Amino acid sequence: MSEKEKIICGLYPRVSTENQVRDGFGLPEQKVRLEDYCKWNGYEIKEYYTDAGRSAKTGNKRPEFERMLEDGRQLMPMVKCIRE
């Protein structure tokens, strides 16, 4: 993939349950998996976004999530979600 074609992305690892952490899907593990995915596909990581310990279910504001959405509107026109 040429520099001109390189896809720019942001990473937003997220944990919503203790089970995910216990089962090896905590933030550090997700970060490694996402970085490996990006490297394998030739994506350039522009930014990391993390709202550690913030639940979306309780109506909490997630500032990093909001920042990611805003950056996506302005800087990164493509959104791709990876969920295992």
Residue with the two structure tokens 């349950």: 17
Bridge partners of 47?
10
Q: Which of 16, 17, 55, 60 is catalytic?
A: 16
Number of H helices, E strands in the chain: 3, 2
Backbone angles phi, psi at 66, to 5 degrees: -65, -40
Active site residue 16: yes
Catalytic site positions? 16
